[in-house]
Structure 1
Amino acid sequence: MDTEAQHPERDRSSTPDEGAAEEGSRSARFSRLARGGDGRARLSLRTAALIGVACTVFVLLFSHFVVQPFQIPSSSMEPTLRVGDRILVNKLAYGSDSRPARGDIVVFDGRGSFVRAELTENPVSSVVREGLAALGLAEPADTDFVKRVVGTGGDRVVCCDDEGRIEVNGVAVDEGYLHPGDVPSEVAFDIVVPANRLWVMGDHRGNSSDSRDHLGDPGGGMVPVEKVIGRADWIGWPAGRWTSLEPTGAFRHVPPPSGVVGGGHG
């Protein structure tokens, strides 16, 4: 009996050692799991960062070469485009076999035609602004403009006929896209667009600084075709204004300029 009674004592005395060993083993497992969890978290964060960088690079490249968002900074193109609209500019619209046509809404670099060619910007702020502008999160550079093409190379553009309409190659144009209450132009002009140049005007003629305002400048307010960034094909934001910018039929009856076969038609 005494011997049997001693066995439970020995069993009880051995329990703390076994418990300590088990506790130590459990702690070691938890430690390994914790370290593994931290590693996986670091891996997940690194993966997410790499994916974010890759997506940003893709968007920037896509914006640079294919379609670029462009934030409308002024009312010069109302009612077609409103302040704050984000238009999507198709950079593949023009090439060797396709050039801007009358009626197209284009975004262009105005250096040398609308602004001084030597106008520069702080390099650091320029990079930041261009990156944000490429995502449609900032207004474009002061050298970028959006206007409607009214005359292409060889066209004679005159303002105005007896009814106050602009004439292109002798044909009056009914510009239904103009801002309500605006006249086609309060400035009289009679110009012939040189080859590879564009005569551009805003739809809100009473609030647009366009080719008319640069008649006396070098280049006569004409925009070189190679300065065109792309054609505005869609309004992408705000959501309530999602739409494609359909070609206007205002120039459909305008003939090619004299001596030119197949002029640019809208």
Structure 2
Amino acid sequence: MGDLAVGARSGHEGPEERPQRPDETAAPAAQDHFRSGSDSPDGGAPESDGQPPGPKKQRSFWKELPLLIGIALVLALLIKTFLVQAFSIPSDSMQNTLQQGDRVLVDKLTPWFGSQPNRGEVVVFHDPDNWLAGEPTANPNALQTALSWIGLMPSAEEKDLIKRVIGVGGDTIECKGTGPLKVNGRALIEPYVYPGNTPCSVDDQGGQFKVTVPPGKIWVMGDHRQNSLDSRYHQQDKDQGFVPVGNVVGRAIVIAWPPTRWDTLPVPDTFDQGLSVTAPGALGLTGAMPLVLWRRRRLAARLTVGNARVSGSGTAG
């Protein structure tokens, strides 16, 4: 007992210790716990000890890469579906404007707003009635199929063609002998026709023709006139060689590949020479307007005289 007392009073004399109550026994340990842990005694935020919170740890690039790839694929699919799609040129029917192996970008946005194909435009359209019969079919591998599905490569499975619009609904197109090609009676100057070709072919299978384009259809021809099975050579099909406007995918606007071939595809000046024809109904309306105005004036004059007579008789009565 004496050793214990001496040990408790070692050092200098101090105030007499009072007995510790049972409820105070775990207080220091509890305080240490609240300071070092994540919770405070009242359930609030942890004490910061005056230190600012550290910055959040940035996510690893490799963890974000799948998300970035997913977003890129979705954007590519949306662009292909609604804006622009790449197409490959598989034949020589549009030489020299387009060469075999060229990649063109096709505007698919404007048809969504009701835009119709215009004369002179180079357009891509779905096969109207088995125009591609007998043509070789490509066999893409799985990677090419996936890339074409999202628009990063031209589609090898879709049966599409590319030609130049020569006439739209209401136009009369004709060609005799070797040309020139005429639209609504006006001869076209066609600098885009393949060198050495004539605007028309002297043959009975479609080289000589005179057609009127129905509403909602277009008449198309290749720039390589002697090497293009276009509207001329499909006049016996269900659409008589015309292409329904609903089959048009869009207008080819630029040659994107190869880089040495990069160029735009504008409408040639020859289609700006006033090829539109005035409809017979419009001509009849224009001719009838003077007669209608003259008749209205006569009726107005008769009504004026009649009103004067009625007013006079009323006063006399």
Tell me the secondary structure at the aligned position of residue 91 of structure 2: coil
Corresponding residue for residue 125 of structure 2: 108
Partner residue in 2 for 1:150: 166
Match of 1:247 among 263, 267, 273: 267
Which secondary structure does the structure 1 equivalent of 2:111 belong to?
Answer: coil
CA distance in 1, matches of 2:78, 2:151: 11
Q: Taking structure 2 as the reference length, what is the TM-score of the superposition?
A: 0.61
Q: Is the 8 A contact 2:108 2:249 kept in 1?
A: yes
In structure 2, what is the equivalent of residue 68 of structure 1? 85
Matched-pair contact (CA < 8 Å) for 2:128–2:244: no
SS of residue in 1 equivalent to 2:237:
coil
Bigger relative contact order, structure 1 or 2 (CA pairs below 8 A, ≥6 apart): 1
1:86 aligned to 2:106? no
Deviation string for 1:190-213 (max 9, x for gaps)?
111110100001111111111111
Match of 2:221 in 1: 201
How far does residue 74 in structure 1 lie from its aligned partner after superposition? 1.1
Displacement of 1:182 in angstroms is: 0.8
1:57 corresponding residue in structure 2: 74
**Alpha carbons of 1:87 and 1:76: their partners in 2 closer, same or farther (altered >3 Å)?**
same
- Deviating 4+ runs (over 6 angstroms): 124-128
Which 5+ residue runs of structure 1 have no aligned equivalent?
Answer: 1-39, 262-266
Structure 2: gaps spanning 5 or more residues: 1-56, 202-206, 283-317
Contact 1:113/1:220 (<8 A) preserved: no
Q: Secondary structure of the equivalent of 1:178? A: coil
Structure 1 residues 127 and 221, CA gap change in structure 2 (3 angstroms):
farther
Q: After superposition, give the CA deviation of every residue in 1:67-101 in whole Å (9 maximum; x if it has no partner).
A: 11111111111111111111110112335553111
Post-superposition Cα deviations, 1:8-37, rounded to whole Å, max 9, x if no partner, equal xxxxxxxxxxxxxxxxxxxxxxxxxxxxxx
CA distance in 2, matches of 1:133, 1:72: 18
Q: Distance in 2 between matches of 1:212 and 1:147?
A: 12
How many residues align? The count is 214
**Percent of aligned pairs with the same amino acid:** 38
Taking a change above 3 Å as real, the CA distance of residues 130 and 74 of structure 1, as seen in their structure-2 partners, is farther
Classify 1:165/1:77 alpha carbon distance in 2 versus 1 (closer, same or farther; 3 Å). Answer: same
User: Partners in 2 of 1:209 and 1:134 — Cα distance?
Assistant: 30
Q: Tell me the residue number matched to 1:167.
A: 182
Deviations 1:108-158 (A, max 9, x none): 111437358xxxx9xx98996374265353454352011000010011110
Alignment deviations for residues 155-208 of structure 1 (CA, whole Å, 9 cap, x no partner): 1110126x7211111111111100101111211011111101000011111111
Task: Give distance in 1, aligned partners of 2:146 and 2:200.
Answer: 34
Query: Which residue identity is paired with 1:219?
Result: D
3-state SS of paired residue (1:100): coil
Map 1:1-266 onto structure 2 (within 5 A): 43-95=60-112, 98-112=115-129, 114=131, 129=145, 131-132=147-148, 135-141=151-157, 143-160=159-176, 164-186=179-201, 187-259=207-279
Contact 2:77 2:149 (C-alpha < 8 Å) held by counterparts: no
Q: CA deviation at 1:221?
A: 1.1
In the alignment, the residues of structure 2 paired with residue 246 and residue 152 of structure 1 have an alpha-carbon distance, to the nearest angstrom, of: 18
Q: Which one-letter code corresponds to 2:196 in the other structure? A: G
The one-letter code sitting in structure 1 at the alignment partner of 2:208 is: A
1:146 counterpart letter in structure 2: I
